[in-house]
Structure 1
């Protein structure tokens, strides 16, 4: 509705009833219309996910997705592997951007006449270029409002509501990031062309006390361009550390963007940034803790496994080995290795600790393929090595930073921090800004913006810290219990080792079951099409993890109607 005249009519009424007050002044309408609804949905979503977890529902099943819409439609191309639902939302989002831009331009051009242009001392094309530049900025802000949601990892609320994992949503962040920078770069170039044509390039460095700060906009765009340049695949893969550290320029990008447009306009994209700040701060608090490292296993194929202590609530499917009436699904693992030494990676399927009480109930079948060897090559020197570590008294098990009721605590943090922010903002506006400004827009925009950002960060820090300290106290007793339970398993011979060490004890029962469930094929690659089409069952979830070509091959098999019971998912580590 925003580009239309209907929206403008509504805004006149809202501003007359909200902005005229001394409590929020001019930013009240944007907070009510843009920031509050999303944060309210996020808080309710936390309660919904908390209740679903409490009563046994899986977070991954909260999405309202039909099987046909989740089926893959595109396998190759710049977008990667895309489902029908993703493609539909992508087209709708592009349509929203095009419709918004065309409406802004159309309504803006209607106000431009040769007479109005001459009164401003400008030509018609210069006015039209300004309208195009401003329309690009408004459309770019729509993309920016969505940019942070896909990268809210530890405390993502809206993604689980639609059955989307944080790993699967990274590509949405990539799409939005390229779109944001393309639009904002075009926005900046339009103004640079205008200033160059008018011989007024000095306007690039202006920082008005009231209004748009051009210099802050240039700094934001420069930060974004440097960050954007390192995101392309060739640079990101070859120089990942450069990409990683350069990506922290998003702090400067957001900071100067808000200074550029002012806090009133920035409230339109504040909701995503707000939830992102909550997530980053909670992860910062969690990173200050030392996690207990129990042991490490080193394989001859240069693979290392680290075993950390976990709280009972974090032991996923092993705690389901105890729920009455739970039936494990049948699992088929198809893996491909270059040589037979890499087969020892299958050892890592079993945990070091004795948390798995009954592996016989896990219906697992392993088809392992060794591609470059026709037969096993024996080597009596290569054995799995296990290193056990003495714990430090300050170490804690891996657990949710907000405890077992993390969703409920997260909802409290989001709602309470925003309420405190509104109260502090109202007091600041009523007793400091309004006596100076009197709603005449004479108070400096950058001062108002800095005060708002400072208040927002303080409110998030206070509520997040209180929740963290409260849950930390509750976990103190749990830590002692975990440290006593996490005794590492004694040294044992790998069941996949090609040599036999007579001095070592025989393999344990769980290891033997794993060996019996494994079939090794030498000198060939897996026929994925044949394997997948032979899978029985009305609902077969197919997870592909590995190189791009592997994921594309599996997606092709699942996508084009060869088997209606196959549902594709993938994990990309690139």
Structure 2
């Protein structure tokens, strides 16, 4: 057994062509990173504290002094509020770019195996059942902070309103005045929540990359914030409706579109669009008709535009920062998704799962635990569906793979098209060619699965797909001597029927790393839940039905604009768009708004939105164009020609063509049983000892809850010589 045995972490192997000594980070880099972190933390805390304490009287007085001191500038009160409420988050985004550039592309060499295992707030499950799903301690703190903020703000505003009530007013007048002012305050609280709402769905934003939260995790925060924001805006609208009904002027007020002050009709339109999005996003509706949810959610454009018309430019600036970051991301995704990507090969497995192998450039960065969004134009021009990547970035320079299980109408059409094409002599005729557009990949900035010494992978059904990429990634790291801490891996996979075992044929561990068993302790447990006994050919994985299709006529790979893209280019894009927006607003104020005395709130709100969009399209679009030219130049240098692409395809075919993968031979299969996670974790605790053990779950919510419940129970009652389990979810629950 060599020096990289299972008893020694694979921090620095002896692979040729790779650094065999640990690189020491320069002091200047470390210092710069700490300064940037402290600056961003101070900015974020100040920004959040401002919104949290805004209802307090002393903050209101300071706010009035700030407005008086800055109102004389070219930008006026709009600039004052923008600098106060949107400036901090945009500055944090710029500092995040600087941090990512200073950090470099990979920080894995800085990670060490901890001698003292400890709990972590973001991987310790606290709530495992209920409307929020599995909630970590860090997420629970965030939820409580938002709840406390809303309760405190409502209380503070109610006390303030009551102190303003005059005894000279009648009870009816007092009631209507109270409802209208309280409705106004609920709208203000909703604007503060709206400031956060769009940040989690900016899929490839530098903010998500900096805090290393992938899009599939951040989506749930958008869902939670969406429910809270729409609840506040709905109460805001209802309070006004009740007050206007009591006063007998409901219809008049709803249809009013005043120039000076809040315009009511745009607010009604905005709230109506928001309510439609909210209702169709509720779980019963979303699960019953996902397409209805998807299409109605595009009404966010109506929601945002008419909100700006409703409140005007200076109030809209309270939430403009997060919305601007979302617009930046959305335009970049639009540019990336216009490219048609070659499908190198398509395969149908016996279980009905489809494997797509897509062309990609060599310089595309992604991690094994990544997602891509796919659009197949032959099926739909509007639908985009997320899928886990099933290949490691080390599997090949010019391809990326995804496994797609047939679960709905779209996936049924996809498989039907493939089977129809497979029956023809020519794989792709001009009239039956399948093309794809891709957004992503999206994922963690660093491969966190390589940063544990001990790893448990729990999958349900097609949830094994990302773990095949993880295994391949680990084996490549072992073979090539790349940084890797892992020494113990346990795979727990639950499937309904044995034909799903054919998914294992997509990875051949022996061909990737023939001597991995001397360097890794790998155990696998498979549970076939709906079959009481093995099929006739026990232990044999069925042959893959290979309908390899290679329409590489355009030789077009995925774009590198989104996901974990080039940091410098993405930074230039963000900075140029932000500076362009400030310049646009300044020029607009100097040459149009101030000279012509434009005072209509709704019109200035519209101009503000137009400046946001045009600055991204014009200033940011210029950088994107240069970025695209740079990308083409890089591809030309890499000589992305037929010979390299064919080599990559041949390597891929060689990897997946075997009937029985080594992983299939290693498995212990139990029929008619479900995983007993209590027994599994107890066994692991005895065998692994006092260590940090990462647990990654990919499967339905019930599987996540079961694993999280056992981890929470074990961590609470663990003995001193038992592992500390860290829960990580890799499920895209939209």
For the aligned pair, the TM-score class normalised by the smaller chain equals 0.7 to 0.9
Does the 8 Å CA contact 2:127/2:135 hold for their aligned counterparts?
yes
Cα root mean square deviation, aligned:
3.0
| Residue 243 to residue 20, structure 1, CA distance change in 2 (3 Å) | same
- Which of 413, 418, 434 is the matching residue for 2:594? 434
Corresponding residue of 1:243: 293
3-state secondary structure, aligned to 1:78 = coil
- Which of 13, 31, 47 is the matching residue for 2:98? 47
| Residue 112 to residue 59, structure 1, CA distance change in 2 (3 Å) | farther
Matched, 1:370 2:528: yes
Matches within 5 A, 1:144-293: 144-155=194-205, 157-201=206-250, 202-293=252-343
3-state secondary structure, aligned to 1:291 = coil
- Which of 128, 134, 158 is the matching residue for 1:105? 158
User: Which is further off, 356-365 or 518-527?
Assistant: 356-365
Corresponding residue of 1:456: 612
Corresponding residue of 2:86: 35
Equivalents in 2 of 1:290, 1:558: separation in Å?
A: 44
Corresponding residue of 2:578: 418
User: Which is further off, 79-88 or 304-313?
Assistant: 304-313
CA deviations over 1:243-285 (Å, ceiling 9, x no partner): 1101111111111111100111000000110110011111000
Equivalents in 1 of 2:631, 2:343: separation in Å?
A: 18
Equivalents in 2 of 1:417, 1:456: separation in Å?
A: 9
Does the 8 Å CA contact 2:269/2:306 hold for their aligned counterparts?
yes
Matched, 1:489 2:638: no
- Deviation (angstroms), 1:87: 1.0
- Deviation (angstroms), 1:215: 0.3
- Deviation (angstroms), 1:132: 1.2
Matches within 5 A, 1:120-159: 123-155=173-205, 157-159=206-208
Corresponding residue of 2:711: 558
Matched, 1:569 2:622: no
- TM-score normalised according to structure 1 size: 0.87
- Which of 319, 325, 338 is the matching residue for 2:496? 338
Matches within 5 A, 1:535-554: 535=684, 536=688, 538-554=691-707
Equivalents in 1 of 2:280, 2:126: separation in Å?
A: 29
Equivalents in 2 of 1:59, 1:251: separation in Å?
A: 43
- Deviation (angstroms), 1:493: 10
| Residue 112 to residue 358, structure 1, CA distance change in 2 (3 Å) | farther
CA deviations over 1:299-338 (Å, ceiling 9, x no partner): 1111101011233343645547366552362432211222
| Residue 127 to residue 292, structure 1, CA distance change in 2 (3 Å) | same
3-state secondary structure, aligned to 1:334 = strand
3-state secondary structure, aligned to 1:428 = helix
| Residue 55 to residue 223, structure 1, CA distance change in 2 (3 Å) | closer
Does the 8 Å CA contact 1:340/1:377 hold for their aligned counterparts?
no
Corresponding residue of 1:17: 69
Does the 8 Å CA contact 1:417/1:459 hold for their aligned counterparts?
yes
3-state secondary structure, aligned to 1:230 = helix
Aligned length: 547
Corresponding residue of 1:478: 635
Unaligned stretches of 5+ residues in structure 2:
1-52, 113-117, 368-391, 395-472
3-state secondary structure, aligned to 2:200 = helix
Does the 8 Å CA contact 2:504/2:661 hold for their aligned counterparts?
no
| Residue 297 to residue 359, structure 1, CA distance change in 2 (3 Å) | farther
- Deviation (angstroms), 1:239: 0.5
- Deviation (angstroms), 1:519: 2.8
CA deviations over 1:528-570 (Å, ceiling 9, x no partner): 2222333326111111122222111100111122555211112
3-state secondary structure, aligned to 1:481 = coil
Equivalents in 2 of 1:95, 1:529: separation in Å?
A: 36
Equivalents in 1 of 2:234, 2:641: separation in Å?
A: 53
3-state secondary structure, aligned to 1:37 = helix
CA deviations over 1:475-526 (Å, ceiling 9, x no partner): 325264265323323897999xxxxxxxxx9x49xx6533443332333222
CA deviations over 1:429-484 (Å, ceiling 9, x no partner): 122111232xxxx6212221222211111111123322322232233252642653
Equivalents in 2 of 1:148, 1:137: separation in Å?
A: 17
Does the 8 Å CA contact 1:27/1:267 hold for their aligned counterparts?
yes
Equivalents in 2 of 1:334, 1:454: separation in Å?
A: 52
Does the 8 Å CA contact 2:316/2:605 hold for their aligned counterparts?
no
Equivalents in 1 of 2:55, 2:159: separation in Å?
A: 10
- Deviation (angstroms), 1:376: 2.4
Matched, 1:525 2:669: no
Equivalents in 2 of 1:150, 1:484: separation in Å?
A: 41
3-state secondary structure, aligned to 2:596 = helix
Matched, 1:72 2:125: yes
| Residue 382 to residue 325, structure 1, CA distance change in 2 (3 Å) | closer
- Deviation (angstroms), 1:406: 2.2
- TM-score normalised according to structure 2 size: 0.69
Corresponding residue of 1:498: none
Equivalents in 1 of 2:532, 2:121: separation in Å?
A: 41
3-state secondary structure, aligned to 1:167 = helix
- Deviation (angstroms), 1:415: 2.1
Corresponding residue of 1:3: 55
